[in-house]
Amino acid sequence: MAAAGELVVLVTAPAEEEAAAIGRALVEEGLAACVNLVGPIRSIYRWQAKVQDERECLLLIKTRAALYAAVEARVRALHSYDVPEIIAVQIDRGSAPYLDWVYEATGAVRQHRR
């Protein structure tokens, strides 16, 4: 993954309490500027050759691409799933003041793109 730019990292958790613990840790440790918890959501997926239908909580993690590896490692350490969903989406456009804040909140200065 490229080290430049901003990301939204999507993670699902089995319950709001676990999602909140993960989100709080990421923000307190400076790995994310903000984590939104969305839920409950309904997830239908295949796991161990069976179709599962579960309630989960979705985390929307705003961070810098340079922090992705650390975010992924921290989520894995805190998550109860054997294979947690951790998907990063590059932010193509966004409010400059907001993206500046993402950088500031995660300990960096944003280099503005033209």
Give the chain's domains with CATH numbers. Answer: 6-105 (3.30.70.120)
pLDDT tens-digit series, residues 64-84: 999 999 999 999 999 999 999
As a whole-number percent, the residues of the chain with pLDDT over 70 amount to 96
The band of 3, judged by pLDDT with boundaries at 50, 70 and 90, is low
Query: For residue 55, how far is the Cα from the chain centroid?
Result: 18
The band of 114, judged by pLDDT with boundaries at 50, 70 and 90, is very low
Preceding peptide of 40 cis, ω within 30°: yes
